[in-house]
Amino acid sequence: MNLQNLAGVKVGILLLKEEQLALRSSDNATEYALDLHCQKVFKFLEEVVSIYGAISLSKFDGEACSNAWFLIQNLDKFVGFQERYLDLMLEDPINFFPAETAYLIDRVLVNKGKIQVYGTQFAHAGNGVFKPKRTIEPKYVNKRRADVGLNTLEEYSKKWGKVDLSDFYC
């Protein structure tokens, strides 16, 4: 992938996202294949960020920015990189989509064993049921979500299928 120009970087990011989506939707994808892809994504994005800085709206475009965020969001084995990238997003908030920043905030916090802010991260609770991971001040989560352009936790949770919010707001 050509890192010498922005167009080459954008194509590289898009191809990596398409590969990841194909792997995740494949019934034959092994954990090993996913790990190899994750390492490939990490090496590519680490190099891109070292050359260009964050893949922001002002340097690239909305599609590249969102595609890069998607890839970074899924680099859970590289939480240090996720955190460094999040810091870049927080240093220049107008050049990133607020909802994507919120998702990465939660992902980094959860990956570090901390309590999330926006309720974007869920866990399997057994029997095909999902629950939001620990969230600070749950009674205010929908206000925080609205502030960054996210829908309510109740709306968001529909994408998870069977969800138990029975003790979330307690």
Q: Which amino acid appears at position 41 of this protein?
A: V
Cα 157 off chain centre by: 16
Of the candidates 117, 121, 159, 167, which has an alpha carbon nearest to the alpha carbon of residue 142? Answer: 117
pLDDT score of 103? 98
Kindly tell me if the per-residue pLDDT of 136 is higher than 70: yes
Q: How far is CA 83 from each of CA 87, 88, 94, 109, 116, rounded to the nearest angstrom?
A: 6, 9, 18, 9, 14
Residues 74 and 38 sit within 8 Å (Cβ to Cβ): yes
Give the model confidence (pLDDT) of 101-128 as tens digits.
999 999 999 999 999 999 999 999 989 9
Choose the weakest-confidence range: 2-16, 53-67, 86-100: 2-16
Q: Which amino acid appears at position 93 of this protein?
A: P
Q: What is the DSSP string of 4-69?
A: SSHHHHHHHHHHHHHHHHHHHH-TT--HHHHHHHHHHHHHHHHHHHHHH-S--TTTS-HHHHHHHH
Give the model confidence (pLDDT) of 28-55 as tens digits.
888 899 999 999 999 999 999 999 999 9
pLDDT score of 77? 95
Rounded to an integer, what distance in angstroms lies between the CA atom of residue 41 and that of residue 37?
6
What band does 160 get if pLDDT is binned at 50, 70 and 90?
A: confident
- The residue extents of the domains of the chain are 6-110, 122-163
Rounded to an integer, what distance in angstroms lies between the CA atom of residue 73 and that of residue 109?
12
Cα 34 off chain centre by: 16
pLDDT score of 3? 67
Per-residue pLDDT, averaged over 17-36, amounts to: 91
What band does 144 get if pLDDT is binned at 50, 70 and 90?
A: very high
What global pTM score does this model have?
Answer: 0.93
